[in-house]
Structure 1
Amino acid sequence: MNQQQFDKIKNGEGFIAALDQSGGSTPKALAAYGVPEDSYSGEDEMFKLVHDMRTRIITSPAFSSDKILGAILFEQTMDRQIEGKYTGDYLSEIGVVPFLKVDKGLADKENGVQLMKPIHDLDDTLRRANERHIFGTKMRSVVHEPNEEGIKAVVDQQFEIGKRIIEAGLVPIIEPEVDIDSSDKVKCEDMLKEEILKHLNELSEDQNVMLKLTIPTKANLYKELIDHPRVVRVVALSGGYSRDEANEKLKENDGLIASFSRALASDLNAKQSDDEFNDKLQSAVDSIHDASVNKK
């Protein structure tokens, strides 16, 4: 593990950019960027276009390590290059810590939750992540209902895989997202917090994790997690909220920083001039950084 990167993620002022849209969500991400599905054919062309989009974001002067601590990448992004360097190396050179999405998507809903699909090639992925100088990983599950059995299964699965990631020398971002449209979001979050705490308290001193959580309805609900000695950082997903709404909710939570995807890139368009693109991205970066650092 790179200690300098560890210290930046743990103590730095800023946020983490989520640039990890994968196979199923890539067409939506491109469409939002002004590239409709009928303008390309096949996965190869689709993934080249989304890499071009990510390259434009990452090489923009607005994408600065002064305000962005890290970036989460999709596996194909990790294996592609920016200006002749693998994406992780390029990010590290500009002072942004690289993470990799390692999950394979969500299983069908059961007991009010969606577990992760099996990650059959995890060991190989982690080996390649180390070769590509990746610092940490991210994996996502979803909680829809306050079902005790389901929430326990989600957290059990996340920490079981998280420990394998730690053994590989990487820092896992554990992401049990609570659906913002849940019928009882508050109860889901209360139950999720208690289940996460149980697992955190069982970790040894050399086992450290990050958490990526939906911004809680009750402000500062996750303060105990943020302050836990085994937690490097707690970051928040935008979860379908608009950027303005996500920023306002984020400001109410001390120590919680952003890890936004759609909320970061929502104003960007392939047809924008470089100046317009950079201005829009700078505005988004500034507002998300402000919400992550300046609390009410």
Structure 2
Amino acid sequence: MMRKQTLIDTARTLVADDKGLLAMDESNPTCNKRFAQLDIPQTEEARRTWRELIITTPNLSDSISGAILYDETVRQHHKDGTPFVKILIDAGIIPGIKVDTGAKAMAGHPREKITEGLDGLRERLAEYAQMGIRFAKWRAVIAMDAGIPSRACIEANAQALARYAALCQEAGLVPVVEPEVLMNGAHTLAQCSKVTEEVLRTVFDQLYIQGVMLEGMILKPNMVAPGITCSQQATMDEVADATVNCLLRAVPAAVPGIAFLSGGQAAEVATARLNAMNARFKSQLPWALAFSFARAIQQPALDMWIGKPDHVMAAQHVLYHRAKCNQAARRSQYDVKMEEDAQA
């Protein structure tokens, strides 16, 4: 019972006070790819320095409740020797960890992927819990195109997410359950809505079968939007309506919070869409609508830093600003003036 209450308390804290999660859990190849685009050295030390910049941003906990780390990052230290996990905890930010080992080609289903990482997960979760980690994340990747996603892909990924979530709760960690319907493609808003609803319904069926306590988890879904190459793009309000209506049909009220992924949306677009949802629906919803952005918080700061020591403070200022904009979006108080004031 004690562990159950701890899970519930942690899940609620992650979405309390209009805060959200900062995802800084890119795998080394992904992080290196972003560094390469900006001519930053693709080394462990450069990655350590970048992540130190993020977690030492002054007052980041004003708007960030939790940070999702990668296995390399969770073992790294500040240049003064302090473990990163301790820095986060001391700052009032709950440390989390990405535990899946990536999306691999799915046997018998060309163009589709299954996320791996269940083997040995119980032991890894126990180690992370001892290190002070209090929540975890697992991402499933659902692509949309002619003839996909298949039922096989949706069901296999939903079951893996549910088995991961059950193992997390057994270890005393809050599972962040991330079924991402990708933005890539020419699909319409209506098609995205249909597939996202099917994916979410399947995920919650599997969570129920595996005995996952919904009050002690966070859902991290995509927003419902047209594919990036769709000729008919949608307004902010259309995305807000489609997303919230889809969630209302598929996500049980017991879930304390929904923290959206940014999924490659431009930083300001992700923030504005979150703002539109809260402005139109916040008072009617059973769960909090929060954020768990990676690129939409990090990328502007990374573009400012570009690996230069004398850019650290400016990059931290940009990072803090993006986090505050997303907190404002939870309060439906975000507008373009916030961006203009920051640039001024």
| TM-score normalised per structure 2 | 0.75
Residues 85 and 227 (structure 1 numbering): CA distance in 2 closer, same or farther, change over 3 Å? farther
- Give 1:99 deviation, angstroms: 0.6
Q: In the alignment, which residue of structure 2 is the partner of 1:43?
A: none
**What does 1:105-116 correspond to in 2, within 5 Å?**
105-109=102-106, 110=109, 113-116=112-115
State whether structure 2 residue 178 is matched by structure 1 residue 153.
no
Q: In the alignment, which residue of structure 1 is the partner of 2:247?
A: 222
Structure with greater helix share of residues: 2
Q: In the alignment, which residue of structure 1 is the partner of 2:14?
A: 9
**Which of the residues 192, 202, 227 maps onto 2:199?**
192
Residues 11 and 277 (structure 1 numbering): CA distance in 2 closer, same or farther, change over 3 Å? closer
- Give 1:119 deviation, angstroms: 3.7
Distance 1:214 1:88 in 2: 28
Residues 47 and 121 (structure 1 numbering): CA distance in 2 closer, same or farther, change over 3 Å? farther
SS across alignment from 1:84: coil
State whether structure 2 residue 285 is matched by structure 1 residue 265.
no
Distance 1:225 1:188 in 2: 11
Distance 2:266 2:160 in 1: 30
SS across alignment from 1:124: helix
Q: In the alignment, which residue of structure 2 is the partner of 1:66?
A: 62
Preserved CA contact (<8 Å) 1:113 1:144: yes
Number of matched residues? 286
The percent of aligned pairs where both chains have the same amino acid is: 22
Larger Rg: 2
Preserved CA contact (<8 Å) 1:172 1:209: yes
Residues 47 and 224 (structure 1 numbering): CA distance in 2 closer, same or farther, change over 3 Å? farther
* Bigger Cα displacement from structure 2, 185-194 vs 249-258: 249-258
SS across alignment from 1:81: coil
Instruction: Note the alpha carbon deviations across 1:207-240, whole angstroms, 9 max, x for none.
Output: 73221111123130214566521x2421111101
* Bigger Cα displacement from structure 2, 64-73 vs 251-260: 251-260
State whether structure 2 residue 93 is matched by structure 1 residue 88.
no
- Give 1:204 deviation, angstroms: 5.8
Distance 1:224 1:232 in 2: 16
Instruction: Note the alpha carbon deviations across 1:115-157, whole angstroms, 9 max, x for none.
Output: 1124433122112101111001111110113422321221111
AA in 2 matched with 1:152: E
AA in 1 matched with 2:122: D
Preserved CA contact (<8 Å) 2:166 2:212: no
What residue ranges of structure 1 are gaps of 5+ in the alignment? 41-45
Residues 113 and 250 (structure 1 numbering): CA distance in 2 closer, same or farther, change over 3 Å? farther
- Give 1:264 deviation, angstroms: 0.8
Q: In the alignment, which residue of structure 2 is the partner of 1:126?
A: 125
Q: In the alignment, which residue of structure 2 is the partner of 1:49?
A: 46
Instruction: Note the alpha carbon deviations across 1:144-180, whole angstroms, 9 max, x for none.
Output: 1342232122111110121112111111111111101
State whether structure 2 residue 71 is matched by structure 1 residue 75.
yes
Q: In the alignment, which residue of structure 1 is the partner of 2:281?
A: none
Residues 295 and 191 (structure 1 numbering): CA distance in 2 closer, same or farther, change over 3 Å? farther
Q: In the alignment, which residue of structure 2 is the partner of 1:18?
A: 23
**Which of the residues 311, 315, 325 maps onto 1:277?**
315
Q: In the alignment, which residue of structure 2 is the partner of 1:139?
A: 138
Q: In the alignment, which residue of structure 1 is the partner of 2:228?
A: none
Instruction: Note the alpha carbon deviations across 1:67-99, whole angstroms, 9 max, x for none.
Output: 101000001111112343322222111110111
The runs of at least 4 aligned residues of structure 1 exceeding 6 Å deviation read none
Preserved CA contact (<8 Å) 2:169 2:212: no
* Bigger Cα displacement from structure 2, 72-81 vs 280-289: 280-289
Preserved CA contact (<8 Å) 1:89 1:132: no
Residues 186 and 291 (structure 1 numbering): CA distance in 2 closer, same or farther, change over 3 Å? same
Distance 2:98 2:22 in 1: 12
Preserved CA contact (<8 Å) 1:143 1:188: no
**What does 1:160-239 correspond to in 2, within 5 Å?**
160-182=163-185, 183=187, 184-202=191-209, 203=211, 205=213, 208-217=216-225, 218-220=242-244, 221-223=246-248, 228-229=253-254, 231-239=255-263
AA in 1 matched with 2:113: Q
| TM-score normalised per structure 1 | 0.87
What residue ranges of structure 2 are gaps of 5+ in the alignment? 226-241, 279-287, 335-344
SS across alignment from 2:277: coil
- Cα-Cα RMSD: 2.5
- Give 1:288 deviation, angstroms: 1.9
